[in-house]
Chain A
Amino acid sequence: MSEILVRIDGKEVKAKEGMTVLEAAQSAGISIPTLCHHEKLEPFGGCRLCIVEVQVGDWTKRVVSCVYMVEENLIVRTRSEKIDKIRKMILELQLCHAPDSPELLDLANEYGADKNRFEKEASFCIHCGLCVRYCAEVKKKNAVGFIDRGIRKEICFIPEIASKECWDCKECFQLCPTEALQAAFVLTKSLISAPPSLESASKE
Chain B
Amino acid sequence: MPRINSSSELEKLRQGILANRDPQKPCITLCAGSACHATGSGDVAASIEAEIEKQGLSAAVDVRKTGCHGFCERGPIIVNHPEESCYFQIKPEDAPEIVSQAVKDKKVIERLLYTDPNTNEKIIYESEIPFYKNQERLVFGSNGSIDPKSIDDYLAIGGYSGLEKALSRMAPEQILEEIKKSNLRGRGGGGFPAGRKWEESRNASGNEKYVIVNADEGDPGAYMDRSLLEGNPHSVLEGLMIGAYAIGSHKGYIYVRQEYPLAVANLAIAIKQAEEYGFLGENILGSGFDFKISVHKGAGAFVCGESSALMTALEGRAGEPRPKYIHTAVKGVWDNPSVLNNVETWANVPLIINKGADWFTQIGTEKSKGTKIFSLVGKITNTGLVEVPMGMTLRDIIYKIGGGIPRGKKFKAVQTGGPSGGCIPENLLDLEVGFDELTKAGSMMGSGGMIVMDEDTCMVDVARYFIDFLTDESCGKCVPCREGLRQMLKILTNITEGKGNEGDIALLEELSEVAKEASLCALGTSAPNPFLSTVRYFRDEYEAHINEKRCPALSCKELIAYYIDPDKCQACMICARKCPADAVDGGKKKIHIIDQEKCTKCGTCFEVCPSRFSAVQKISGEPVPSPISEEKRIITGKSKEK
Contacts and interface: CB of A to CB of B under 8 A. Distances in A.
Interface of A: 45-48, 51, 62-64, 67-69, 82, 85-86, 89-90, 93-94, 118-119, 121, 126-127, 146, 148-153
B472 A150 contact: yes
Interface string B396-432: 0000000000000000000000000000000000000
Interface stretch (B234-242, B381-389, B480-488, B565-573): B480-488
A45 B486 contact: no
A59 to B, nearest CB: 14
Nearest to B486: A151
A19 to B, nearest CB: 13
B173 interface: no
Contact of A150 (B326, B474, B490, B514): B474
Contact of B325 (A48, A69, A119, A148): A69
Interface string B479-513: 11011111100100000000000000000001101
A45 B520 contact: yes
Contacts of A127: 476-477, 479, 482
A68 to B, nearest CB: 5
Given A151-B471, A151-B474, A90 B479 contact: yes
A48 B476 contact: no
Interface centre among B301, B484, B485, B517 (most CB of A within 10 A): B517
Contacts of A51: 517-518
Nearest to A154: B476
A149 B476 contact: yes
Contact of A90 (B318, B323, B514): B514
Given A89-B510, A150-B471, A62 B518 contact: yes
A46 B477 contact: yes
Given A67-B325, A151-B482, A89 B477 contact: no
Nearest to A44: B477
Contact of A153 (B482, B485, B490, B511): B482
Contacts of B325: 63, 67-69
B475 interface: yes
Interface in B502-554: 510-511, 513-514, 517-520
Given A85-B514, A90-B479, 5 more contacts: A93-B479, A121-B486, A150-B485, A151-B486, A153-B482
B619 interface: no
Contacts of A90: 479-480, 483, 514, 518
B478 interface: yes
Contacts of B485: 150-151
Nearest to A119: B490
A151 B476 contact: yes
Contacts of A64: 323, 518, 520
